Amino acid sequence: MRQVLRHIFQKKQAYARLPLFERMRDERLDPSERLAFYPCMAYFIMSFGDLNKFVLRQEPAADEYQEMVNVHTREDDHHWPWYLEDLTKLGYDVEARSSDMMHFLWGEETIENRILTARLTELIKGTTGLERLVIIEAIEETGNVLFGAMLPLAEALEKRLGTQLRYCGPFHFERESGHTVDADHAALASISLDAETRERYKALADQVFALFEPWTHELLRYAIAHPAAIPVTDPETDGVSQIMTRSSILAA
């Protein structure tokens, strides 16, 4: 299994060079501009809890590996409220008609979010506990890239807004970095696999990264199409008094 884990790490390195993450690291842009994709990933983030509860989890566990999966899912199935919390704090929680929200979540602009959820579900169905651990490892590494890139942006925006961003910032990142599966890397690495199984597990990881890549491109398209809202501090109250789009700031 050690070679499979090494392969996943190599795929992670390539994933981190995708255009979305290059933009997130571009210090010429305001932090809020680099985080402008945030509303676009709502469908997948909200679905991810269910993916853990109803697809990855299997109770009673058939073996020790599935029990490891189950433990991981119980750590990962309740992060979506933090996403909604930050959605409000970042100024994206605006009033809208239910039909408009449905159109956004199930429209063309967020189609890769839905495809990612559906195809991960299809990939996971019928897999063994150990195969699911491989899939989880690959998913975790995609998340580590995203949350690692978000972390400095969140820290800058926390200072600007004077509030904690629990999903984008250190609160979430530290919990993601401390997952049980990460702690059990040594145990996983010690598992002996024959050549055929090893290549099959690598192929599973490859499929995970291949599914996530179009999602990152969709997030990038959204960020470019929707200029970020930048909170502006009121010098009289020392608080955020208004939200202006970047274009309106430039035009002022």
Length of the chain (residues): 252
Of 176 and 218, which is predicted with more confidence? 218
Count how many domains the chain has: 1
What are the C-alpha distances in Å from 185 to residues 4, 7, 146, 188?
A: 11, 14, 21, 5
CB neighbourhood size of 205 (10 A):
23
Three-state SS at 70: helix
- State how far Cα 186 lies from the chain centre: 25
pLDDT tens track for 205-252: 999 999 999 999 999 999 999 977 555 444 344 444 444 343 332 332
How far, in Å, CA of 164 to CA of 169, rounded?
8
Instruction: Supply 238's token pair.
Output: 């020392």
Report the pLDDT averaged over residues 100-117.
96
- State how far Cα 152 lies from the chain centre: 15
Give the CATH number for residue 171. 1.20.910.10
Q: What is the pLDDT of residue 217?
A: 98
Instruction: Please identify which residue in the block is written with the tokens 């929200």.
Output: 101
Q: What is the pLDDT of residue 87?
A: 95
Range of the domain at 241: 2-251
Task: Please say if the pLDDT value at position 170 is more than 50.
Answer: yes
Identify the band that residue 143 occupies on the pLDDT scale cut at 50, 70 and 90: very high
For Cα atoms 124, 180, 152, give the angle at the middle one, nearest 5 degrees.
95
Q: What is the pLDDT of residue 183?
A: 56
pLDDT tens track for 44-100: 999 999 999 999 999 999 999 999 999 999 998 889 999 999 999 999 988 789 999
Q: What is the pLDDT of residue 90?
A: 94
- pTM metric for this prediction: 0.88
pLDDT tens track for 22-43: 999 999 999 999 999 999 999 9
CA dihedral 72, 75, 80, 81 (to 10 degrees): 170
Of 176 and 236, which is predicted with more confidence? 176
